[in-house]
Amino acid sequence: MSGWGCPHEIKGKCDKVGGDKDCEPGMKGCIMHGRFRFASPEKNAPESVVRRLRDADKEKKNGVD
């Protein structure tokens, strides 16, 4: 049993990517894409995307927009 549920998952479909795709954590468009590492390599974002997200998060924390 999991302790986390995605707010974009509605009846097994991902509302964030239009609601017509099955919810698969880590897929492109998912809020977790590029922010977490998955065992399945195809769900992992390229390093350039991960770096860009990490830099944006640092700027937010430092108050830079």
In a domain, 28, yes or no: yes
pLDDT reported for residue 4? 67
Residue 24 is part of which domain span? 9-61
pTM for the whole structure: 0.52
In a domain, 4, yes or no: no
Contact between residue 17 and residue 30 where contact means Cβ atoms under 8 Å apart: yes
In a domain, 21, yes or no: yes
Q: Is the pLDDT of residue 45 over 80?
A: no
In a domain, 56, yes or no: yes
Backbone angles phi, psi at 40, to 5 degrees: -85, 110
pLDDT reported for residue 65? 57
In a domain, 3, yes or no: no
Question: What domain count does the chain have?
Answer: 1
In a domain, 2, yes or no: no
In a domain, 25, yes or no: yes
Q: What is the overall mean pLDDT for the chain?
A: 80
Q: How confident is the model at residue 44 (pLDDT cuts 50, 70, 90)?
A: confident
In a domain, 46, yes or no: yes
Instruction: Report the alpha-carbon distance of residue 37 to residue 40 in Å, rounded.
Output: 9
